[in-house]
Amino acid sequence: MSVAATRRGFQPSGPTQNFTPGRRGAIAPPVRPSWRGANAGRAGAFGYNPVPFDACGRAGPQPVPLAVRTGSVPRSHLRHTLFPVTTDSLKSLLADEMTEVDRVLRSSLESDVVLVRQVAEYIISSGGKRLRPALLLLAARACGYAGRDHCTLAAVVEMIHTATLLHDDVVDESQLRRGHATANATFGNSASVLVGDFLYSRAFQLMVGLRSVRVLEILSHATNVIAEGEVMQLMNVGNPDLDEAAYLEVIQRKTAKLFEAAAQLGAVLAGASPERETALARYGRHLGTAFQLVDDVLDYSGDLAAIGKNLGDDLAEGKMTLPLIRAIAVGSAEDAALVRNAITGGRITEFAPVVAALDRTGALAYARASAAREGDTAAACVTGLPLSPHRESLLELASFAVRRSY
């Protein structure tokens, strides 16, 4: 499942050629199961295979995908879409809609300010799994929505996510994301923060155009909760006493909340019942939690080329994540002291010894198992939806979030 990160060429043109990047660096050149329909009951409780993990929390071998066609878009077209999603069947299912999301995104990045266009284009074009917009599209269609506003709203969700990435990378002083130099490393911190603000404000302009107070309520609340989660994480940098319950609250705010909002918005657009809206919101929350827990694991066991960012970033930034919390809780006094000292000092030099401690304590496998439980809970939330390729793709996402290696 690993996909090697590749660099895309990025050349400023016209007046942008005279822009001087910030001092942090110059412009960089620029299982999973297939959908099986109603007879998938034997492949795990909710239509997908249970996930085997080794002691290091790594997912087992991936099955060869089945060539199931659930859409009419030819594969030659899929190679040109800028929105990669997680399975071949899902790509086919969403290809036309993802193309429209891309069109909305790019038209919304238009600005008379050259640097705004330059930085926004750089981050939007840098890749990513695009799970949040895909989630909204799937939820809307699974609830019977037949309009086109879901593409605009999916673009809004991606803009908000991109804005959070721009701000996060400045706070974390990150240098690498998705296999590319971060925007702050390329253009400087000030440009990244201000363009992030532009993306937030443009997202709300698009929201207003939908003329739905309910949509505004959900997304304004979500962005507020996400900001609170980021501040909570900042407050706990270098804090080795953060426990599992407190950590889960942080990630449910800063990561899972936008997944929750995306799934809920799909139901809202479709005019779904309050019960179905709540079920999809819960699906998104548990999916997002699983996604973050796997990110925690990959920061200590992933492949640099596959995950597109430096291993050990969390440790270097002094961030307590579930594997470290577990190692302190169940490890020997020596292991606990090692992790505590590495976190309080933000010492990436301790990366190899810390990974060894995580292996000894089974902490990575514990985090993967926690993610698998979240994935199971997410899947249970959507089994009441009418049978359709979109519902089955929601189940695929629950599996992918746990099994992924990038």
- Report the chain's mean pLDDT, rounded to a whole number: 77
Span 61-72, pLDDT tens digits: 333 222 222 333
Q: Which two tokens stand for residue 125?
A: 């074009």
Span 1-48, pLDDT tens digits: 333 333 233 333 333 333 333 333 333 333 333 333 333 332 333 333
What is the average pLDDT across 52-78?
34
Span 150-186, pLDDT tens digits: 999 999 999 999 888 887 777 766 666 555 677 666 6
Q: In 3-state terms, what secondary structure has residue 212?
A: coil
- Please report the pLDDT score of residue 27 as a whole number: 31
Q: Which two tokens stand for residue 350?
A: 């301790």
**Bridge-based pairing state of the strands 180-181 and 176-177:** antiparallel
Residue 55 near residue 358 (C-beta atoms within 8 A) = no
- Please report the pLDDT score of residue 173 as a whole number: 63
Q: Where are the domains of the chain?
A: 88-403
Residue 143 reports pLDDT greater than 80: yes
- Please report the pLDDT score of residue 17 as a whole number: 33
Q: How far apart are CA 400 and CA 253, in angstroms?
A: 21
* Angle ∠(210,212,218) on CA atoms, nearest 5: 110
Report field, pTM of the whole predicted structure over 0.85? no
Residue 385 reports pLDDT greater than 70: yes
What is the average pLDDT across 301-320?
73
* CATH class belonging to 88-403: mainly alpha
Residue 362 reports pLDDT greater than 70: yes
Q: In 3-state terms, what secondary structure has residue 177?
A: strand
